[in-house]
Structure 1
Amino acid sequence: MEKTNQHVCSHKVVHVGWQKSNLQEFKAAFISDNQAQSDWLDSKKHAELMENMDKKSAWDRFYSETSSRSHNFKNFEWFFGFDAVQDFITPFLQTASLSRRPVQVLDMGCGTSALGPSIYRDSALPVRVTCADISPVAVRLMREHVRANPVRPRNASSQIEFLELDCTQLDSHYGPSSLDLIVDKGTTDALLRSKEGAEKAASVLRQCLKVLRRSGSLLQFSDEDPDARLVWLETAAQGQGLAAADVGVQEVGVLRGVCYYCYQVTAHHYVNK
């Protein structure tokens, strides 16, 4: 894949080297009409979450406390909702469908986002969507929400499941070449922003490339500038049997003053381990 690195945005808002964001920058990464979540981010607890976004306990606490403050479930979106990235995801579903089997999709670090359920709902092609998160609280909330508000897929053969899974142990759950598409909306960003998450993020990237089929891709949605993220992706993808990876980038657009990008990563075949 030919690499594209076009800076259409007129400014760079991402913290190269992943310096800590202030509260307003941190809150800009989230979309939610849930007042309980907004109130939680306004509290001093946001600093603790920022430093520990690679830890299960931090997210369990976040989802437990924000859900307990509201009687009505609200999806909590990192960056943006499905509509903003639907046109990036659909072509990969169509390519993977040529195999004439359900397209295996992983929404990695789903939280309580509507992204995975939206892929399941809107895909005209048969898909099996797994929404996975490290937090059992988030997984339980999503299961309960979908049980109470069933999602009707366009394709009757499509399936969806919610799974508690630490993405740093991805290859312990999935075998090599078992997924067609992995969608990462802010999960890698959360790892890289956390105090001790850089090594975990690199490990997750390599595991993603291992469990993807040869025709499969990883889509990372991020606010990190291509000058930083492209180099990191190319470097972190090497090793553990990977010859290299092809990396490309497209601009998603500017939302609430922040420029977002879609990074596509496709693995080369494995070499001897």
Structure 2
Amino acid sequence: MNLAMNSQGCGYTPNCNETAAPGNDSLSRWEYWNQRYKERNEAFDWLTDPYLTVQSVLPYLEETKSKDILHLLDLGTGTSRFPSELSKHLKDNFNLFCFDYVKECLQFQRSSIFRSDFRDASNPFARIMFVCGDAESLPFKADTMNIIFDKGTTDSLLKDKIKGKERTHSVLSEAFRVLCPNGKLLQFTDEDPDVRIPFLEESCRNWNVSISYKILSSESIEYFMYTVVKK
């Protein structure tokens, strides 16, 4: 099944939370991330630790039973250990797309994941792919993804004081376009529900969705996982 329309192929530190730094608009720019990944070629996880993140999403994977192959999209994968950890827990056949707009981090992910316990050869229908592109124009067909993971990606875009909301609305609109019916967007952030839920409702105004959230705690820091289900 060809989903792509056009594609190219430090450890967790909870206190080092740049996405939470107010006014740090450099986090919304490609130039910042391109330079960062060239200079810091190491694993780094924003917000929740990768193990907590995986444990939080596993119940959703269990309830998302696909007759064919499970299609998963990690939106703004960076150099997180989340894809590597997730691949170790996936029992069903799956396609995991690690998506980012910086090639250097995708090269890091490729080498990191295939040094892990993931064994592509053990299941010919289990694949991890690395796609470089623009999240405001995702190179995937509509209604194809079962679950999309957003771990701080929209938080970074929202640092853009001028076009942040507009850009984030575009990214979320694209996410809902490629989600299949009953597909889920799982968002990890430190933003309070009083702020994030109205923003998600505004972003979803053209789609029939349901929104819920749960509180996650990591190293005594409170985070949130928002679940947006496309009806």
- What TM bracket, shorter-length normalisation? 0.7 to 0.9
TM-score w.r.t. structure 2 length?
0.84
Q: Which residue in 2 is equivalent to 1:246? A: 210
Amino acid across the alignment from 2:154: T
- What is the CA deviation profile of residues 44-85 of structure 1, one whole-angstrom value per residue up to 9, with x for unaligned ones? xx999x313222211000111223xxxxxx311011222112
TM-score w.r.t. structure 1 length?
0.72
Q: Answer yes or no: is the 8 Å Cα contact 2:213–2:227 preserved in 1.
A: yes
d(CA) in 1 for partners of 2:62 and 2:219?
31
d(CA) in 2 for partners of 1:85 and 1:65?
26
Q: Answer yes or no: is the 8 Å Cα contact 2:48–2:188 preserved in 1.
A: no
Q: Please show how residues 145-156 of structure 1 align to structure 2 within 5 Å.
A: 145-147=112-114, 149-153=115-119, 156=123
Secondary structure of residue in 1 paired with 2:92: coil
Q: Answer yes or no: is the 8 Å Cα contact 1:120–1:158 preserved in 2.
A: no
Q: Per-residue deviation at 1:87?
A: 2.9
Secondary structure of residue in 2 paired with 1:193: coil
1:57 aligns with 2:31: yes
From 204, 223, 228, give the equivalent of 1:237: 204
1:266 aligns with 2:217: no
Q: Answer yes or no: is the 8 Å Cα contact 2:84–2:118 preserved in 1.
A: no
Q: Answer yes or no: is the 8 Å Cα contact 1:117–1:160 preserved in 2.
A: no
Q: Answer yes or no: is the 8 Å Cα contact 1:133–1:165 preserved in 2.
A: yes
Residue-pair matches, total: 214
Amino acid across the alignment from 1:87: Q
From 148, 166, 169, give the equivalent of 2:137: 169
d(CA) in 2 for partners of 1:93 and 1:26?
29
Of all paired residues, the percent bearing the same amino acid is 25
d(CA) in 2 for partners of 1:52 and 1:102?
38
From 47, 53, 62, give the equivalent of 1:79: 47
Q: Please show how residues 123-138 of structure 1 align to structure 2 within 5 Å.
A: 123-138=90-105
Amino acid across the alignment from 2:157: L
- What is the CA deviation profile of residues 72-122 of structure 1, one whole-angstrom value per residue up to 9, with x for unaligned ones? xx311011222112232112222222x322210000000011111222221
d(CA) in 1 for partners of 2:53 and 2:145?
20
From 173, 179, 183, give the equivalent of 1:206: 173
* C-alpha spacing 1:47/1:96, structure 2 compared with 1 (3 Å): closer
1:193 aligns with 2:182: no
Q: Which residue in 2 is equivalent to 1:94? A: 62
d(CA) in 1 for partners of 2:95 and 2:83?
10
Q: Which has the larger radius of gyration?
A: 1
* C-alpha spacing 1:160/1:108, structure 2 compared with 1 (3 Å): same
Secondary structure of residue in 1 paired with 2:79: coil
Q: Answer yes or no: is the 8 Å Cα contact 2:84–2:112 preserved in 1.
A: no
Runs (5+) with no aligned partner, structure 2:
1-13
* C-alpha spacing 1:153/1:194, structure 2 compared with 1 (3 Å): farther
* C-alpha spacing 1:84/1:123, structure 2 compared with 1 (3 Å): same
Q: Per-residue deviation at 1:146?
A: 3.6
